[in-house]
Amino acid sequence: MSVTISFRDVVKKYGATKVIPELSLDIKQGEFFTLLGPSGCGKTTLLRMIAGFNSIEDGTIQFNERVINQVAPGKRNIGMVFQNYAIFPHLTVKGNVAFGLQNRKNNKDDIHRKVEDILKVVQIEEYKDRMPKNLSGGQQQRVALARAIVIRPDVLLMDEPLSNLDAKLRVEMRNAIKDIQREVGITTVYVTHDQEEAMAVSDRIAVMKSGIIQHVGTPQEIYQRPANIFVATFIGRTNIIDGTITYASGKYSVSFGAGYQESIQGINEHAMGIHGNAPIKISVRPEEFYIAEDQQGLRAKIVSSVFLGLNTHYYVDLETGPRIEITQESTTDQILQPGTTVWLKANMAKANVYDEQGEVNYTGSVRS
Amino acid sequence: MTSRKKFDVWMVITLLIFASYLLFLAYPLFTLLIKSFVDGTTGDFSLAYFEKFFSKKYYLNALVNSIKVTVGVTVLSVLIAGPLAYIMSTVKIKGGKWIQILILISSMSAPFIGAYSWILLLGRNGVITNFVSKVFGIAMPDIYGFTGILLVLTLQLSPLVFMYVSGALKNVDHSLIEAAESMNYTGLRKMWKVLVPLVTPTILAGALLVFMRALADFGTPMLIGEGYKTIPVLIFTEFISEVGGDDGFAAAISVLVVLFATSVFLLQKYISNRKSFTMSALNPIEPKKANGLWNFVAHACVYVYTAIALMPQLYVMYTSFLKTSGRIFVPGYSFDSYRSAFSKIGDSIYNTFVLAAISIVIIVFVAVLIAYITVKRKGAIANVLDVFTMFPYIVPGSILGIALLVTFNQKPLVLSGTIFIIIAAFVIRRLPYTIRSSAAVLHQVNDSIEEASISLGASSMRTFFKITLPMMITGVVAGAILSWISIITELSTSIILYTGNTKTMTVAIYTEVIRGNYGVAAALSTILTIITVLSLLLFFKLSGKKEITM
């Protein structure tokens, strides 16, 4: 039934350019795995290599023990959901869903029963005799999903399946997809550029850039301990501040400049490679800055504010130069006016510290 | 994927079609080229045919005549149909939808029927000529020669420009016009600075089509030209003439014509590539009700043009019901003409249907495959196929006919006189309509639809027949109807290739007109027109459009 997918030094070339250089990755059985990254990062290319629509120039992709490099797409036993759904416009909902079963020489009663069952699972049984043009975007999405999973594939592949839906339907559908995936338990590879969507549906996420996987982890790991500055800035919002790390009497502390210093726990000396002082980049998310009532910390001046109900966002200019963003829970008090001076402190338990190039995370035991 | 792609079913199909094009298009044209450079008796290389052509005033005259006719028709068509399309797109004309259909109908009939009808109307003994001279005592200007050809071909071909320009104007967003007006560009200045540049590429494309058709037309100058010889007439007479017919010389002229047509074609492509852009209007220009004088002028222009364009067809239909005595029309009405049409040359109706039906079956089959290969299976061979399908556009029908005849009248493959050679010519010449219309639909089909089918375990053949073909079927049928109409109304190839068994309706009409059997010719023309109109109406019904792209 459901399989593990292993990538071993997989290479994709277009002409002489390597768009994916030697990529290795393991996707567990029954896992909801997401490839996340900006457009052009190679995530769809990789998905289409699993599907068999893109060739594999080097390395292997395996479903369990079976190498599938040379297996025709139709023989890989995959179910695929396309960005534009690719619903056959001349077939009814039932006809679309039954198509894959008919290719598999099932008998008529079997097909009928399986189609009815799956239409119930995706909750479109009342539309089974409709033509696709009479369906809404969300309903078409459900047809595409039903068509892909009714054949009981080893692997379910989804290429940005929600990008054509409006915001509200997107949230509804991603919950539906998550529930259905859990119900049928198929190993699923999901491609998206929307980090919020990725976090909402995935068991694990691989963040990709330029064909290279930057970080693989659970949504929580990726958000809280991003492997490098690219991941930190791509997932959620963050402020990157130049600073230094110093070692004194068995403790590390981080200096933000202008005399503001905080001690920090859990520095990974192995990752750091040196035992002592070094220039660093500090990543602090907007919500991890708080305004210090004691007038200690980083001095900053409010530039502008955006009231968003639950939170209020402020853009502030630090005394040391850079402009950063901070988020405060909205209060009934007045919003801070531009020009007001405030003192900021960072919650160091959640901050991340990187080397000067932003490539290595010194905080915690993360690996990319 | 790459390793599988090397040798699949589609590769085999592509190679088969490619081979057929080589055999039935490239090879004949090449034979023609060789013939033009080889002395007919000695078999040596010789430029004698070309010397003959350029040294005799008689031949050069035909060339000059052809250029005069072609340029004249093209310019007039643009000048008449361009403004007409503008009027129809901006002013609400009463019965506009029907007018559009009528204009289309007038363009889809065989041009030589128009020629012969104008002779009946404005010829030496024409109805209008006689009427004017009796009532006003004025002699009408001579319709024969240059004037007649110009009149007939302009009326016949200007609808093409009309269709093209109307289509382009539909894609002009109304806000462009409003933007121009907001910057104080109004009236003619607005038209000249905004509208004309926007539709120029389309006008050029339409003009090219008119140019090629006018250059290749054989029936019209043959009937109404009298002494005014054009190149197609020259080629025909040189090739067919019973005394001293000369294949080699006809071949040499053909080569010159194809060279000329190709240069014009490439020039047009070059210019329009530099000027082209894509438009699609969110809110297209809508025809609005006009007031006062402009409204009257607009209506008058449209109605008068349509009436003149349809007059020959209607008059031919009228004469088909006249009583005849021998070859002369006599007072009173009867079905005599139809009776003798069926009894004397009923075979030609049967032949037309059989030949056209067989051709259409082949065309649909091949066009579907070619459209699929060129749109979805791009590659070196597919690109060459794409170029091959353009050839019928530049090679006049009579020249293709001659090329096929000189190629296939000798061993190892003797086809001359058989129905195969006519079918081959029909298929090659009329394929493009169906290919283009099928390809247009196919372009709309997203690649992921096929991938979806393949990922669900369907083979590439099953995917094609179960998914792709059903999705392109409307385009295929619409294109096939156009191919069908253009086959049953075509004369220039069949007049060269026909024999007793393969005489088509157009050839029959043509020979009856030459013999002066106007009644029978009119009856046959009427039947042909009715079939054409019915086919067109079916086309409109199926495609849901009121326009044709060629």
Q: Enumerate residues 404 to 463 of chain B having a beta carbon within 8 A of any beta carbon in chain A.
A: 446, 448-449, 451-459, 462
State the average pLDDT over residues A354-365: 83
Confidence of residue A297 (pLDDT cuts 50, 70, 90): confident
Please, what CATH class does the domain formed by B1-34+341-550 belong to? mainly alpha
CATH number attached to the domain at A233-354: 2.40.50.140
Contacts of B111 (CB under 8 A, 6+ apart): B152, B153, B156, B157, B217, B219, B220
Nearest to A99 among B1, B446, B453 (CB): B453
- The pLDDT score that the predictor gives to residue A11 is 93
Tokens of B236: 């025909």
pLDDT in tens, A212-229: 999 999 999 999 999 999
Q: Do B455 and A51 touch (CB under 8 A)?
A: yes
Which residue of chain A comes nearest to B456, CA vs CA? A100
Write down the domain spans for chain A: 5-232, 233-354
CB-CB neighbors (< 8 A) of A148 in chain B = 455
CB-CB neighbors (< 8 A) of B8 in chain A = none
Whether the predicted pLDDT of B528 surpasses 70: yes
Query: Which of B8-12, B171-175, B308-312 has the largest mean confidence?
Result: B308-312
Report the alpha-carbon distance of residue B343 to residue B386 in Å, rounded. 44
Confidence of residue A358 (pLDDT cuts 50, 70, 90): confident
- The pLDDT score that the predictor gives to residue A362 is 86
Confidence of residue A275 (pLDDT cuts 50, 70, 90): low
Tokens of B251: 């071949």
- The pLDDT score that the predictor gives to residue A367 is 46
State the average pLDDT over residues B105-114: 83
A2 close to A33: Cβ distance less than 8 angstroms? no
Confidence of residue A59 (pLDDT cuts 50, 70, 90): very high
Whether the predicted pLDDT of B3 surpasses 50: no
Whether the predicted pLDDT of A366 surpasses 50: no
CB-CB neighbors (< 8 A) of A89 in chain B = 471
Backbone angles phi, psi at A191, to 5 degrees: -110, 135
Q: Do B3 and A86 touch (CB under 8 A)?
A: no
Backbone angles phi, psi at A328, to 5 degrees: -125, 145
The residue among B215, B312, B355, B221 whose CA lies nearest residue B521 is B312
Tokens of B283: 């809110």
Contacts of B393 (CB under 8 A, 6+ apart): B212, B265, B432
Q: Do A80 and B455 touch (CB under 8 A)?
A: yes
Tokens of A47: 């998905």
Q: Do B448 and A90 touch (CB under 8 A)?
A: no
CB-CB neighbors (< 8 A) of A100 in chain B = 456-458
Whether the predicted pLDDT of A179 surpasses 80: yes
**Lowest-pLDDT range of B263-277, B472-486, B527-541:** B263-277
Confidence of residue B6 (pLDDT cuts 50, 70, 90): very low
Report the alpha-carbon distance of residue B154 to residue B163 in Å, rounded. 14
Q: Do A74 and B455 touch (CB under 8 A)?
A: yes
Q: Longest C-alpha distance within chain B, in Å?
A: 83
Interface contacts (A, B; CB < 8 Å): 67
CB-CB neighbors (< 8 A) of A83 in chain B = 448
Of 3.40.50.300, 3.30.2130.10, 1.10.287.130, 3.50.50.60, the CATH number of A5-232 is 3.40.50.300
State the average pLDDT over residues B122-141: 82
Select the residue from B456, B461, B468 to test the A interface by mutation, using most A Cβ atoms within 10 A. B456
CB-CB neighbors (< 8 A) of B476 in chain A = none
On whether any CB of chain B is under 8 Å from the CB of A191, the answer is: no
State the average pLDDT over residues B130-144: 82
pLDDT in tens, B358-390: 999 999 999 999 999 888 887 888 888 888 888
State the average pLDDT over residues A24-53: 93
On whether any CB of chain B is under 8 Å from the CB of A83, the answer is: yes
Which residue intervals of chain B bear CATH 1.10.3720.10? Answer: 1-34+341-550, 50-320
On whether any CB of chain A is under 8 Å from the CB of B60, the answer is: no
Q: Do A103 and B458 touch (CB under 8 A)?
A: yes
**Lowest-pLDDT range of A110-119, A152-161, B56-65, B411-420:** B411-420
Which residue of chain B comes nearest to A146, CA vs CA? B456
Whether the predicted pLDDT of B125 surpasses 60: yes
CB-CB neighbors (< 8 A) of A99 in chain B = 453, 456, 458, 466
Confidence of residue A157 (pLDDT cuts 50, 70, 90): very high
- The pLDDT score that the predictor gives to residue A368 is 40
Whether the predicted pLDDT of A365 surpasses 70: no
Q: Do B452 and A83 touch (CB under 8 A)?
A: no
- The pLDDT score that the predictor gives to residue B1 is 38
Q: Enumerate residues 61 to 80 of chain A having a beta carbon within 8 A of any beta carbon in chain B.
A: 70, 72-76, 78-80
Q: Do A78 and B455 touch (CB under 8 A)?
A: yes
**Residue scoring higher pLDDT (B169 or B187):** B169
B28 close to B407: Cβ distance less than 8 angstroms? yes
- The pLDDT score that the predictor gives to residue B417 is 78
Tokens of B442: 């196919």
The residue among B224, B245, B100, B243 whose CA lies nearest residue B234 is B245
**Residue scoring higher pLDDT (B177 or A76):** A76
- The pLDDT score that the predictor gives to residue A314 is 92
The residue among B303, B271, B336 whose CA lies nearest residue B518 is B336
Average pLDDT value for chain B: 85
- The pLDDT score that the predictor gives to residue B412 is 75
- The pLDDT score that the predictor gives to residue A334 is 80
Whether the predicted pLDDT of B41 surpasses 80: no
Peptide bond into B83 cis (omega under 30): no
Backbone angles phi, psi at B478, to 5 degrees: -60, -45
Tokens of B490: 């075509």
User: What whole-number percentage of chain A has pLDDT above 90?
Assistant: 48
Shortest distance, CA A53 to any CA of chain B (angstroms): 7
Whether the predicted pLDDT of B167 surpasses 70: yes
State the average pLDDT over residues B141-161: 89
Looking at residue B33, its amino acid is: L
- The pLDDT score that the predictor gives to residue B394 is 86
**Residue scoring higher pLDDT (A274 or B302):** B302
- The pLDDT score that the predictor gives to residue A1 is 63
Answer whether CATH 1.10.300.10 is correct for domain B50-320.
Answer: no
Q: Enumerate residues 3 to 22 of chain B having a beta carbon within 8 A of any beta carbon in chain A.
A: 3-4
% helix, strand, coil for chain A, step of 5 = 25, 35, 40
Q: Do B457 and A89 touch (CB under 8 A)?
A: no
The residue among B364, B376, B369 whose CA lies nearest residue B476 is B364
On whether any CB of chain B is under 8 Å from the CB of A151, the answer is: yes
Shortest distance, CA A70 to any CA of chain B (angstroms): 8
On whether any CB of chain A is under 8 Å from the CB of B501, the answer is: no
pLDDT in tens, B303-330: 999 999 988 889 988 988 888 877 777 7
Average pLDDT value for chain A: 89
